[in-house]
Structure 1
Amino acid sequence: YPDDLLTAWSAPMEKQRHNAASYDSFRSYFDLLHSTIKQHSIQPENTYNIDKKGF
Structure 2
Amino acid sequence: MKPEIKAMADKYGVTVPQLCIRYTIQLGTASLPKTANPKHIETNADVDFD
TM-score normalised by structure 2 residue count: 0.30
TM-score normalised by structure 1 residue count: 0.28
Question: Whose Rg is larger?
Answer: 1
More helix by share: 2
Q: Could you say which structure has the greater relative contact order, defined with CA pairs below 8 angstroms and 6 or more residues apart?
A: 2
